[in-house]
Amino acid sequence: MNEFEFKKIHIKNEVLAYREGGLGDRTLLLIHGNMSSSAHFDKLMDALYDDFKIYAVDLRGFGHSSYHERFDSLKELSEDLEYFIDKLRLKDVEVLGWSTGGGIAMHLAIDCPDLIKRVILLESVGIMGYPMFKKDAQGQPILTELLMTKEDIENDPVQVAPVLDAIKNQNADFYKFLWNAAIYTAGNQPNPEDYDYYVSEMLLQRNLVDIDYSLTRFNLSHADNGYGVGSGEIERIKCPVLIIQGDKDIVVPMDMAVGIKDALKDTAKLVVLENSAHNPMVDSLDKVVALIKEK
């Protein structure tokens, strides 16, 4: 594999770790999702090495980045990246956001229209966020009762508390069980050595409750998502947007991808990957690479 430099940079009150490399004349910023880090982009970065200068950042509270200040919104993480882009004097940036990173990428396109040239949304959260529901005695979601506070989220017995416990105890087996059940649902997994490495990076996360809370509040639509009326800012995205969605993703449903496409109308293109789930970098790497390389 090609080599990428591992660096750190001071951004406001935080220190962001990032991977940098590539020989191309196009600039690509990679934004990872929840329960992951920039390490998950390793195979994608290697495949794009000759075509892009690539920057893959560990978001605040993930991986090897600091977590000095808590946050309540994906916009705050987007603002971290605005400082990152400014400090490195990047221009004409193509930004790829995976899962939760898609929401952050959309904020960047809204707030930095002169810098963001193109957005690629890979299994992205939808424009009305990701709701979290209270659970009944059998652990099933009560679809009429939302989790509203960070305390409620932290104490959720199904989606959150077991993950926090796994992080506390550095339980790699739990993470593999969870990812096998929810992420790798198309029949593919990383090779054992890579899987161990990815899980070791996942277990560095310190911000799970903040991220989950931020996902519930994310809303760029004009509608009320149960947590409040959205900002309507989706209409401010003017650059081309490529939406890539796997047909076997059970984490982010297809209607979220369709909702983004419908909101952006002619500025967006939706590509559905067959037999691909929430991590197409494992399920459909060659197809994803080809789509990213398109101009």
For 5-130+219-293, CATH gives 3.40.50.1820
Q: Give the mean pLDDT of 239-260.
A: 97
Q: 């490399």: which residue's tokens?
A: 21
Residue 138 has pLDDT above 90, yes or no: yes
Rounded Cα distance between 69 and 53, Å, is 30
Rounded Cα distance between 56 and 38, Å, is 5
Residues 6+ apart with CB under 8 A from 164: 154, 208, 209
Q: What pTM value is reported for the model?
A: 0.97
Cβ count within 10 A of residue 22: 20
Q: Given this model, what pLDDT does residue 295 score?
A: 81
Domain chopping of the chain, boundaries: 5-130+219-293
Rounded Cα distance between 74 and 214, Å, is 6
Q: In Å, what is the CA distance from 29 to each residue of 43, 66, 139, 174?
A: 15, 19, 38, 30
Q: Given this model, what pLDDT does residue 1 score?
A: 80
The model's pLDDT over 53-94, given as tens digits with 9 standing for 90+, comes to 999 999 999 999 999 999 999 999 999 999 999 999 999 999
